Structure 1
């Protein structure tokens, strides 16, 4: 009965954190516990050092999106690979992945890079439908690349649900690299195939040396931050500090592209996004503890086990569930609601929690471009002045490629676990 009421409240538009909070409080009440314990669970998020990385990475990404950095990077792709048929599309996908990884929100990538990339791709000879679909679907690619906010959030939830599993943010950063590159390679290969036999772009390009000098401050950042994380020289929080400081100094003091008067508004924009994530996370932690104490994951496993005879079948069912969830929920909401339920059951089936995390995010990444709630569809429709159905049809070939990659990721755990295994 309570579950039905919560679903109805969500459908009528009650904020998600409030729905989760009501569920948590009702769980405490039914268990005869003081509801004040829910507030104590919420306060525990302040004890997680890794969450310091969330506002820092988000601030750096939003600051980059408000600067001239996207324009300079697009110009760099023209100069570096404009001679290669399909080169602009390949580098455009890489740029989208990097922007989403650093901002933590694919919607920012659609808005910040999409308006630059769409006309550039069409000017380069790509069909409008292809260009529209590539920009919309490609903006979701960075979810599996460090320092993606969903990666960090999944690690935090997994540590709370299964503290003995030993899962760490660094492990997830490494685990997402090869699956993310697989998705990127499939989409890039399709882009090159579409332009097969076409003559190189005749558009005038600036000398590469001059464009490299223009991007002098942005180009080292991914190598310094990601190289530091993957090599073990930087912890995630340290990498977040380096990223925020690098971007702030380069854009505010050296390039002077962001006036000091705009900084409070940019900080507010970034922190509103972070606050929304933390409020939902805090309420979900309270709800998760109630479910664990009530034995909900164990009962779920006991119900599922007789019906499923293999780990692979279980993972395929998880894929279906997450794809449906991605159609209805934001990626952060889906993580904090479903991960506490699925992780304990997956562990009982012998699924590695790191591999499960990559599967989780690969599924929910596809949800960015699936109706009825796919945020990329709405933003692309508004930004490019096309109806949502047109945008969705344009993304279908790319969604097909992402689904193929998802099946490979699901059935081949070594793709996700190879790099964390080398790290030891």
Structure 2
């Protein structure tokens, strides 16, 4: 197993794409074991032959339609209207908009890109420093994989057999807690550092602004109600909900808001297809890597190693968190879930840890990896929009990372945060 991991890390080091690295690292071991190479395409295609996994490209498409169809813009306006009166209100609106966008997009990168492209320039006009604006966008973007519906939850459920509906339910309170803590953080930082401008609070004008923005966004806000209400009400599955989301987003964007014409649809569909294809290729070749690890009995070996280190579930969770934070710094989130989920989930179960709770620990932990250098996807997106270097981002980002890790510890050691709504 050590040789397999070393080959994989070596391929990462020379910048081989993640999907190819996962496939290439597996081949030598499969050949050595005498596994016919015909097994490779069988494993790859079997991993994609999943009704549940069909939800992934559909949620990606719904997010794209939201971004270009005026839905996201209306959610931004509502968040700004609600919070513009407080110092740091626009930064808090970035977090609130990310929370709203996450209820449809299911993607951290899509959330950071959509919200950042609209609000980072606006924050600059209101005299927020660019590094602070970019750090706020990157950190709040991680909510895209924590607040349901989440593509990461879908992948975790597919690879470990955990109910995706239960994962969605479990994501509500952790997502709300992280979002509110980030809002409190940006407001406090803005007050201390004097960032941003604020409008004087006047009861009548404030209510009119909020009422106007809420009316414009009412149909947009109905989209997450349809998706999540339908899933939790047992009306349709997570995959069927994704279809409903796409149909409703097209209806709003093309018929109601008229922000997208029929001529724009091929471009938007193509963009969603490319993004989905990248993720699907990683899923497919990560399944091949997982097949090799299964033949090596990697879960049993790692479980045996951990049992010699500790029989205390609290210490086990601490070790897992330290390990996953390290993994998240260097490995793409979906690949990490596909490779490590089937290995670590059974071990966690042997320690008496609820599988849904452990799934939330994994997802939140790896979501933090999206905002940690050197491979944090959200950091590259935010730096690109703000036109700053990664080094300029580090000082304000450190505060957000401390808040995120504090939330991770609470989610890890207070299972009720994840499981309360399941009871």
Report the TM-score, using the length of structure 1 for normalisation.
0.90
* In structure 1, C-alpha distance between the alignment counterparts of 2:198 and 2:21, rounded to whole Å: 54
Distance 1:210-1:411 versus aligned 2 partners, 3 A rule: closer
- Identify the residue that residue 400 of structure 1 maps to in structure 2: 402
Secondary structure at 1:415 match in 2: helix
- Identify the residue that residue 322 of structure 1 maps to in structure 2: 324
Alpha-carbon shift at residue 129 of structure 1 (Å): 4.7
Alpha-carbon shift at residue 240 of structure 1 (Å): 0.6
- Identify the residue that residue 171 of structure 1 maps to in structure 2: 166
* In structure 2, C-alpha distance between the alignment counterparts of 1:240 and 1:219, rounded to whole Å: 16
Structure 1, 94-103 or 138-147: larger mean CA deviation: 94-103
8 Å Cα contact 2:79/2:96 also seen in 1: no
Q: 1:352 aligns with which of 327, 351, 354?
A: 354
Secondary structure at 1:219 match in 2: helix
Structure 1, 309-318 or 344-353: larger mean CA deviation: 344-353
Alpha-carbon shift at residue 403 of structure 1 (Å): 0.5
Aligned pairs (5 A) from 1:211-250: 211-250=213-252
8 Å Cα contact 2:4/2:29 also seen in 1: no
8 Å Cα contact 1:326/1:366 also seen in 2: yes
Q: 2:50 aligns with which of 30, 48, 51?
A: 48
* In structure 2, C-alpha distance between the alignment counterparts of 1:311 and 1:54, rounded to whole Å: 33
- Identify the residue that residue 9 of structure 2 maps to in structure 1: 7
Q: What's the CA shift string for 1:69-111, capped at 9, x where partnerless?
A: 3332222223334334555443431211332453333333333
RMSD: 2.5
* In structure 2, C-alpha distance between the alignment counterparts of 1:77 and 1:97, rounded to whole Å: 10
Alpha-carbon shift at residue 408 of structure 1 (Å): 0.7
* In structure 1, C-alpha distance between the alignment counterparts of 2:104 and 2:97, rounded to whole Å: 11
Distance 1:8-1:126 versus aligned 2 partners, 3 A rule: closer
Q: Which runs of 5+ in 1 are unaligned?
A: 160-166
8 Å Cα contact 1:377/1:392 also seen in 2: no
Q: What's the CA shift string for 1:392-415, capped at 9, x where partnerless?
A: 222211111111011111111222
8 Å Cα contact 1:94/1:184 also seen in 2: yes
Does residue 201 of structure 1 match 2:199?
A: yes
Report the TM-score, using the length of structure 2 for normalisation.
0.90
- Identify the residue that residue 284 of structure 2 maps to in structure 1: 282
Secondary structure at 2:149 match in 1: coil
8 Å Cα contact 1:101/1:144 also seen in 2: no
- Identify the residue that residue 24 of structure 2 maps to in structure 1: 22
Alpha-carbon shift at residue 122 of structure 1 (Å): 5.2
* In structure 1, C-alpha distance between the alignment counterparts of 2:329 and 2:286, rounded to whole Å: 20
